[in-house]
Protein backbone atom coordinates (compact mmCIF):
# COMPACT_ATOMS: atom_id res chain seq x y z
CA UNK A 1 0.00 0.00 0.00
CA UNK A 2 1.34 3.46 -0.81
CA UNK A 3 1.51 6.17 1.79
CA UNK A 4 -1.15 8.31 0.19
CA UNK A 5 -3.64 5.48 -0.17
CA UNK A 6 -3.00 4.59 3.46
CA UNK A 7 -3.88 8.13 4.51
CA UNK A 8 -6.93 8.38 2.31
CA UNK A 9 -8.32 5.25 3.89
CA UNK A 10 -8.57 6.98 7.24
CA UNK A 11 -11.69 8.78 8.30
CA UNK A 12 -13.61 8.47 5.05
CA UNK A 13 -17.35 9.08 5.24
CA UNK A 14 -17.92 5.38 4.72
CA UNK A 15 -15.68 4.43 7.61
CA UNK A 16 -17.13 7.09 9.89
CA UNK A 17 -20.51 5.49 9.27
CA UNK A 18 -19.24 2.42 11.16
CA UNK A 19 -19.04 4.59 14.30
CA UNK A 20 -22.09 5.38 16.45
CA UNK A 21 -23.76 8.69 15.50
CA UNK A 22 -22.70 10.35 18.78
CA UNK A 23 -19.02 9.35 18.41
CA UNK A 24 -16.62 12.30 18.95
CA UNK A 25 -15.00 11.80 15.52
CA UNK A 26 -18.25 13.02 13.93
CA UNK A 27 -17.45 16.50 15.31
CA UNK A 28 -14.91 18.58 13.41
CA UNK A 29 -13.46 19.79 16.72
CA UNK A 30 -12.17 16.28 17.39
CA UNK A 31 -11.64 15.11 13.79
CA UNK A 32 -9.52 18.21 13.05
CA UNK A 33 -7.83 18.43 16.46
CA UNK A 34 -4.02 18.57 16.31
CA UNK A 35 -3.87 14.94 17.55
CA UNK A 36 -6.22 13.38 15.01
CA UNK A 37 -4.76 15.57 12.23
CA UNK A 38 -1.24 14.27 12.93
CA UNK A 39 -2.39 10.67 13.39
CA UNK A 40 -3.92 10.84 9.91
CA UNK A 41 -0.84 12.40 8.30
CA UNK A 42 -2.08 15.99 8.31
CA UNK A 43 -0.67 19.12 9.94
CA UNK A 44 -2.65 20.76 12.74
CA UNK A 45 -2.22 24.03 14.62
CA UNK A 46 0.80 22.60 16.48
CA UNK A 47 2.54 19.27 16.99
CA UNK A 48 0.34 17.20 19.31
CA UNK A 49 1.78 15.67 22.45
CA UNK A 50 0.69 12.99 24.92
CA UNK A 51 2.69 10.77 27.24
CA UNK A 52 2.48 7.04 27.75
CA UNK A 53 1.64 6.54 31.46
CA UNK A 54 0.63 10.21 31.74
CA UNK A 55 -1.97 9.01 34.25
CA UNK A 56 -0.39 7.44 37.29
CA UNK A 57 2.05 7.77 40.09
CA UNK A 58 3.80 10.93 38.88
CA UNK A 59 0.60 12.81 39.85
CA UNK A 60 -0.25 13.59 43.50
CA UNK A 61 -3.95 13.73 42.57
CA UNK A 62 -3.65 10.16 41.24
CA UNK A 63 -2.03 8.89 44.44
CA UNK A 64 -4.81 10.56 46.40
CA UNK A 65 -7.73 8.92 44.57
CA UNK A 66 -5.95 5.55 44.49
CA UNK A 67 -5.43 5.45 48.29
CA UNK A 68 -6.64 2.04 49.52
CA UNK A 69 -7.99 1.08 46.06
CA UNK A 70 -6.26 -1.89 44.36
CA UNK A 71 -5.16 -1.22 40.75
CA UNK A 72 -7.65 -3.54 39.05
CA UNK A 73 -10.54 -2.24 41.20
CA UNK A 74 -9.64 1.29 40.10
CA UNK A 75 -9.69 0.20 36.44
CA UNK A 76 -13.12 -1.43 36.81
CA UNK A 77 -14.77 1.50 38.62
CA UNK A 78 -16.04 3.62 35.68
CA UNK A 79 -16.22 6.94 37.57
CA UNK A 80 -12.73 6.48 39.05
CA UNK A 81 -11.18 5.29 35.77
CA UNK A 82 -12.70 8.34 34.02
CA UNK A 83 -11.40 10.71 36.72
CA UNK A 84 -7.86 9.26 36.53
CA UNK A 85 -7.92 9.44 32.72
CA UNK A 86 -8.86 13.14 32.89
CA UNK A 87 -6.30 14.19 35.54
CA UNK A 88 -3.26 14.59 33.23
CA UNK A 89 -5.36 16.38 30.57
CA UNK A 90 -6.48 18.98 33.12
CA UNK A 91 -3.03 19.40 34.59
CA UNK A 92 -0.74 19.30 31.56
CA UNK A 93 -2.96 20.37 28.65
CA UNK A 94 -1.87 17.33 26.62
CA UNK A 95 -3.55 16.87 23.23
CA UNK A 96 -5.10 13.49 24.04
CA UNK A 97 -6.17 11.40 26.98
CA UNK A 98 -5.07 7.76 27.20
CA UNK A 99 -7.72 5.55 28.73
CA UNK A 100 -6.76 4.49 32.26
CA UNK A 101 -6.85 0.71 32.32
CA UNK A 102 -4.31 -2.06 31.91
CA UNK A 103 -3.33 -4.66 29.34
CA UNK A 104 -4.48 -7.43 31.74
CA UNK A 105 -8.03 -6.04 32.14
CA UNK A 106 -9.48 -8.08 29.22
CA UNK A 107 -8.13 -11.32 30.72
CA UNK A 108 -9.43 -10.30 34.14
CA UNK A 109 -12.88 -9.63 32.63
CA UNK A 110 -12.76 -13.00 30.86
CA UNK A 111 -12.33 -14.62 34.27
CA UNK A 112 -8.57 -15.38 34.35
CA UNK A 113 -7.05 -15.28 37.85
CA UNK A 114 -4.75 -12.25 37.48
CA UNK A 115 -3.76 -9.37 39.72
CA UNK A 116 -1.39 -6.42 39.56
CA UNK A 117 1.13 -6.52 42.36
CA UNK A 118 2.37 -3.01 43.27
CA UNK A 119 5.98 -2.46 42.22
CA UNK A 120 6.00 -5.73 40.28
CA UNK A 121 3.25 -5.86 37.68
CA UNK A 122 0.76 -8.47 36.44
CA UNK A 123 0.86 -11.87 38.21
CA UNK A 124 -1.33 -14.88 37.31
CA UNK A 125 -2.63 -17.36 39.90
CA UNK A 126 -1.63 -20.19 37.53
CA UNK A 127 0.64 -19.72 34.50
CA UNK A 128 -0.69 -20.90 31.11
CA UNK A 129 1.86 -23.32 29.63
CA UNK A 130 0.22 -26.24 27.81
CA UNK A 131 -2.37 -26.68 25.08
CA UNK A 132 -4.74 -28.02 27.76
CA UNK A 133 -4.21 -24.84 29.84
CA UNK A 134 -4.99 -22.73 26.78
CA UNK A 135 -8.05 -24.72 25.78
CA UNK A 136 -9.38 -24.25 29.32
CA UNK A 137 -9.11 -20.42 29.12
CA UNK A 138 -12.46 -18.64 29.54
CA UNK A 139 -13.79 -16.53 26.65
CA UNK A 140 -14.34 -12.79 27.09
CA UNK A 141 -18.03 -11.97 26.66
CA UNK A 142 -19.26 -8.69 25.26
CA UNK A 143 -21.32 -7.92 28.41
CA UNK A 144 -18.23 -8.25 30.61
CA UNK A 145 -16.88 -5.14 28.85
CA UNK A 146 -19.76 -2.95 30.13
CA UNK A 147 -17.62 -1.19 32.81
CA UNK A 148 -15.10 -0.29 30.08
CA UNK A 149 -17.78 1.14 27.79
CA UNK A 150 -19.23 3.07 30.72
CA UNK A 151 -15.84 4.52 31.74
CA UNK A 152 -15.03 5.54 28.15
CA UNK A 153 -18.45 7.19 27.69
CA UNK A 154 -18.04 9.17 30.94
CA UNK A 155 -14.53 10.20 29.91
CA UNK A 156 -15.35 11.45 26.40
CA UNK A 157 -18.28 13.44 27.74
CA UNK A 158 -15.88 15.39 29.98
CA UNK A 159 -13.10 15.61 27.39
CA UNK A 160 -15.07 17.65 24.88
CA UNK A 161 -12.76 18.51 21.97
CA UNK A 162 -9.79 16.48 23.26
CA UNK A 163 -9.63 12.99 21.74
CA UNK A 164 -9.39 9.83 23.81
CA UNK A 165 -6.87 7.17 22.82
CA UNK A 166 -7.91 3.63 23.65
CA UNK A 167 -5.41 0.78 23.87
CA UNK A 168 -4.81 -2.91 24.27
CA UNK A 169 -1.83 -5.15 24.88
CA UNK A 170 -0.56 -6.86 21.73
CA UNK A 171 -0.93 -10.65 21.73
CA UNK A 172 2.79 -11.33 22.32
CA UNK A 173 3.11 -9.00 25.32
CA UNK A 174 -0.11 -10.33 26.87
CA UNK A 175 0.84 -13.96 26.16
CA UNK A 176 4.32 -13.38 27.61
CA UNK A 177 2.74 -12.50 30.99
CA UNK A 178 0.39 -15.49 30.76
CA UNK A 179 3.11 -18.04 29.99
CA UNK A 180 5.62 -16.64 32.48
CA UNK A 181 2.89 -16.15 35.10
CA UNK A 182 4.37 -12.72 35.87
CA UNK A 183 6.87 -10.13 34.70
CA UNK A 184 10.18 -11.41 33.31
CA UNK A 185 13.27 -9.91 31.79
CA UNK A 186 13.92 -12.13 28.77
CA UNK A 187 10.51 -13.72 28.12
CA UNK A 188 12.29 -17.05 27.74
CA UNK A 189 9.27 -19.29 28.36
CA UNK A 190 7.02 -17.80 25.63
CA UNK A 191 9.96 -17.66 23.22
CA UNK A 192 10.69 -21.32 23.90
CA UNK A 193 7.01 -22.28 23.58
CA UNK A 194 6.77 -20.86 20.04
CA UNK A 195 9.34 -23.39 18.86
CA UNK A 196 8.70 -26.29 21.24
CA UNK A 197 4.91 -26.34 20.86
CA UNK A 198 3.84 -24.13 17.94
CA UNK A 199 0.28 -25.45 18.12
CA UNK A 200 -0.13 -24.34 21.74
CA UNK A 201 1.54 -21.01 20.98
CA UNK A 202 -0.79 -20.40 18.05
CA UNK A 203 -3.86 -21.21 20.17
CA UNK A 204 -2.70 -18.78 22.88
CA UNK A 205 -1.88 -16.10 20.28
CA UNK A 206 -5.38 -16.45 18.84
CA UNK A 207 -6.99 -16.20 22.29
CA UNK A 208 -4.98 -13.08 23.15
CA UNK A 209 -5.62 -11.56 19.70
CA UNK A 210 -9.39 -11.86 19.90
CA UNK A 211 -9.52 -10.74 23.54
CA UNK A 212 -7.49 -7.59 22.79
CA UNK A 213 -9.57 -7.00 19.65
CA UNK A 214 -12.81 -7.06 21.67
CA UNK A 215 -11.27 -4.66 24.23
CA UNK A 216 -10.30 -2.21 21.45
CA UNK A 217 -13.68 -2.44 19.71
CA UNK A 218 -15.52 -1.71 22.98
CA UNK A 219 -13.41 1.43 23.56
CA UNK A 220 -13.85 2.66 19.97
CA UNK A 221 -17.61 2.15 19.99
CA UNK A 222 -17.90 3.96 23.33
CA UNK A 223 -15.96 6.99 22.04
CA UNK A 224 -12.20 6.41 21.62
CA UNK A 225 -10.91 8.33 18.56
CA UNK A 226 -7.63 6.44 18.13
CA UNK A 227 -6.10 3.28 19.55
CA UNK A 228 -2.62 2.10 20.46
CA UNK A 229 -1.54 -1.52 20.43
CA UNK A 230 1.23 -1.92 23.03
CA UNK A 231 3.71 -4.66 22.16
CA UNK A 232 6.02 -3.55 24.93
CA UNK A 233 8.14 -6.71 24.94
CA UNK A 234 8.30 -7.40 21.17
CA UNK A 235 11.92 -6.20 21.23
CA UNK A 236 12.96 -9.51 22.81
CA UNK A 237 12.17 -11.28 19.50
CA UNK A 238 14.23 -11.74 16.34
CA UNK A 239 12.58 -10.40 13.22
CA UNK A 240 12.14 -13.95 11.91
CA UNK A 241 10.33 -15.10 15.06
CA UNK A 242 8.30 -11.89 15.14
CA UNK A 243 7.10 -12.37 11.57
CA UNK A 244 6.37 -16.08 12.00
CA UNK A 245 4.88 -16.33 15.49
CA UNK A 246 3.67 -12.86 16.48
CA UNK A 247 2.81 -10.63 13.55
CA UNK A 248 -0.16 -12.78 12.38
CA UNK A 249 -1.80 -12.42 15.80
CA UNK A 250 -1.17 -8.66 16.03
CA UNK A 251 -2.56 -8.39 12.49
CA UNK A 252 -5.75 -10.17 13.63
CA UNK A 253 -6.25 -7.62 16.42
CA UNK A 254 -5.54 -4.61 14.19
CA UNK A 255 -7.70 -5.93 11.34
CA UNK A 256 -10.64 -6.44 13.69
CA UNK A 257 -10.93 -2.66 14.21
CA UNK A 258 -9.83 -1.46 10.73
CA UNK A 259 -13.39 -0.85 9.52
CA UNK A 260 -13.94 1.88 12.12
CA UNK A 261 -11.31 4.04 10.40
CA UNK A 262 -9.82 5.29 13.68
CA UNK A 263 -6.02 5.63 13.53
CA UNK A 264 -4.18 2.60 14.93
CA UNK A 265 -0.81 3.25 16.57
CA UNK A 266 1.54 0.27 16.98
CA UNK A 267 4.23 0.63 19.65
CA UNK A 268 6.91 -1.54 21.23
CA UNK A 269 10.27 -1.08 22.89
CA UNK A 270 13.61 -2.26 21.50
CA UNK A 271 11.93 -2.65 18.11
CA UNK A 272 14.51 -0.93 15.87
CA UNK A 273 14.82 -4.12 13.78
CA UNK A 274 11.08 -4.82 13.78
CA UNK A 275 9.53 -1.54 12.63
CA UNK A 276 8.75 -2.60 9.02
CA UNK A 277 7.30 -5.89 10.30
CA UNK A 278 5.18 -4.00 12.84
CA UNK A 279 3.89 -1.73 10.08
CA UNK A 280 3.07 -4.79 7.96
CA UNK A 281 0.85 -6.01 10.81
CA UNK A 282 -1.58 -3.30 9.73
CA UNK A 283 -0.79 -0.14 11.70
CA UNK A 284 -1.48 3.44 10.56
CA UNK A 285 1.10 5.07 12.85
CA UNK A 286 4.32 3.66 14.28
CA UNK A 287 5.41 4.45 17.83
CA UNK A 288 9.18 4.50 18.21
CA UNK A 289 11.05 3.99 21.48
CA UNK A 290 13.88 6.27 22.61
CA UNK A 291 16.70 4.12 21.22
CA UNK A 292 16.25 5.00 17.54
CA UNK A 293 16.14 8.55 16.09
CA UNK A 294 12.88 9.26 14.27
CA UNK A 295 14.64 10.07 10.98
CA UNK A 296 16.25 6.60 11.05
CA UNK A 297 12.89 5.02 11.88
CA UNK A 298 11.39 6.93 8.97
CA UNK A 299 14.06 5.58 6.59
CA UNK A 300 13.64 2.01 7.83
CA UNK A 301 9.89 2.12 7.37
CA UNK A 302 10.25 3.60 3.90
CA UNK A 303 8.63 6.97 4.68
CA UNK A 304 5.03 7.96 4.33
CA UNK A 305 3.91 6.87 7.79
CA UNK A 306 3.16 9.20 10.72
CA UNK A 307 5.57 8.57 13.58
CA UNK A 308 5.08 8.87 17.33
CA UNK A 309 7.83 9.39 19.87
CA UNK A 310 10.40 9.46 21.28
CA UNK A 311 11.74 11.66 24.07
CA UNK A 312 13.91 9.56 26.38
CA UNK A 313 12.08 9.34 29.76
CA UNK A 314 15.47 9.58 31.48
CA UNK A 315 15.79 13.17 30.24
CA UNK A 316 12.71 14.23 32.25
CA UNK A 317 14.95 14.29 35.35
CA UNK A 318 18.07 15.67 33.67
CA UNK A 319 17.30 19.38 34.10
CA UNK A 320 15.46 21.74 31.74
CA UNK A 321 18.40 22.65 29.51
CA UNK A 322 19.24 19.03 28.72
CA UNK A 323 15.56 18.16 28.23
CA UNK A 324 14.99 21.15 25.93
CA UNK A 325 18.03 20.32 23.79
CA UNK A 326 16.96 16.68 23.52
CA UNK A 327 13.36 17.68 22.69
CA UNK A 328 14.60 20.04 19.96
CA UNK A 329 16.49 17.18 18.35
CA UNK A 330 13.45 14.87 18.58
CA UNK A 331 11.27 17.57 16.93
CA UNK A 332 13.86 18.13 14.21
CA UNK A 333 14.15 14.41 13.54
CA UNK A 334 10.35 14.07 13.49
CA UNK A 335 10.13 16.56 10.61
CA UNK A 336 11.30 13.80 8.24
CA UNK A 337 8.00 11.93 8.78
CA UNK A 338 4.73 13.03 7.13
CA UNK A 339 3.53 14.04 10.58
CA UNK A 340 4.81 13.68 14.14
CA UNK A 341 2.96 12.90 17.35
CA UNK A 342 5.26 13.85 20.20
CA UNK A 343 5.51 11.32 23.04
CA UNK A 344 8.11 9.70 25.23
CA UNK A 345 10.03 6.65 24.07
CA UNK A 346 8.32 4.70 26.88
CA UNK A 347 6.17 5.51 29.92
CA UNK A 348 6.48 8.42 32.39
CA UNK A 349 8.65 7.21 35.31
CA UNK A 350 6.68 7.35 38.61
CA UNK A 351 9.38 9.62 40.12
CA UNK A 352 8.88 12.33 37.46
CA UNK A 353 8.26 15.90 38.66
CA UNK A 354 4.88 16.63 37.02
CA UNK A 355 5.70 20.34 36.60
CA UNK A 356 8.40 19.27 34.11
CA UNK A 357 5.77 17.54 31.98
CA UNK A 358 3.51 20.61 32.01
CA UNK A 359 6.42 22.83 30.97
CA UNK A 360 7.38 20.37 28.23
CA UNK A 361 3.86 20.40 26.75
CA UNK A 362 3.86 24.23 26.74
CA UNK A 363 7.28 24.30 25.10
CA UNK A 364 6.34 21.81 22.36
CA UNK A 365 3.12 23.69 21.59
CA UNK A 366 4.98 27.00 21.44
CA UNK A 367 7.86 25.97 19.18
CA UNK A 368 5.73 23.93 16.77
CA UNK A 369 2.84 26.40 16.44
CA UNK A 370 1.99 27.04 12.80
CA UNK A 371 1.79 30.78 12.18
CA UNK A 372 -1.63 31.92 11.05
CA UNK A 373 -1.18 34.50 8.33
Q: Is 242 a catalytic residue?
A: no
- CB nearer to ligand CP3: pick between 98 and 330: 98
Per-position DSSP letters for 276-340, written without gaps between them: HHHHHTT-SEEE--TTS-HHHHHHHHTS-S-EEEEE-GGGGGS-HHHHHHHHHHHHHHHTTSSSE
Tell me which of 32, 42, 57, 115 is the catalytic residue. 57
Give the nearest distance from C-beta 307 to ligand CP3 in angstroms. 18
Give the nearest distance from C-beta 40 to ligand CP3 in angstroms. 21
CA dihedral sign of residues 160, 70, 55, 330:
negative
CA distance 63 to 65: 6
Strands 121-124 and 114-117: antiparallel
Q: Is 66 a catalytic residue?
A: yes
Which residues within the stretch 114-173 sit at the binding site for ligand CP3 (CB under 6 A)? 116, 118-122, 167, 173
Task: Establish how many alpha carbons lie within 13 A of residue 237's alpha carbon, considering only the half-sphere containing its beta carbon.
Answer: 30
Q: Is 102 a catalytic residue?
A: yes
Q: Is residue 98 at the binding interface for ligand CP3, with CB under 6 A as the rule?
A: yes
**x-marked contacts with ligand CP3 along 309-348 as a string, rule CB under 6 A:** --------------------------------------x-
Q: Is residue 301 at the binding interface for ligand CP3, with CB under 6 A as the rule?
A: no
CA distance 175 to 141: 19
Give the nearest distance from C-beta 266 to ligand CP3 in angstroms. 12
Return the residue of 232, 247, 308, 343 that touches ligand CP3, per CB under 6 A: 232
The DSSP bridge partners found for residue 287 are 267, 308
* Dihedral angle of Cα 319, 320, 322, 328, to the nearest 10 degrees: 160
Give the nearest distance from C-beta 167 to ligand CP3 in angstroms. 5
Give the nearest distance from C-beta 279 to ligand CP3 in angstroms. 19
CA distance 308 to 40: 12
Q: Is 149 a catalytic residue?
A: no
Q: Residues in the site for ligand CP3, rule: CB under 6 A?
A: 52-57, 71, 98, 100-103, 116, 118-122, 167, 173, 183, 230, 232, 347
Amino acid sequence: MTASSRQRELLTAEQLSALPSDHPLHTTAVADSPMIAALTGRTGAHAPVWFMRQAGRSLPEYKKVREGVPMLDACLNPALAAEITLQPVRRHGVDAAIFFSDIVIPMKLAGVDVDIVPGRGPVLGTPVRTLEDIQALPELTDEALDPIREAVALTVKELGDTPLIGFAGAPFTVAAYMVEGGPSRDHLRPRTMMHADPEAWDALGQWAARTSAQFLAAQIEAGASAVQLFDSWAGSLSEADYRRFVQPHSATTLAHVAHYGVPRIHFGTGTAELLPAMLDAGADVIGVDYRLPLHTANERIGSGVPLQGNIDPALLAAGWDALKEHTDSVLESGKTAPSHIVNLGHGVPPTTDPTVLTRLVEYIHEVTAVEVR
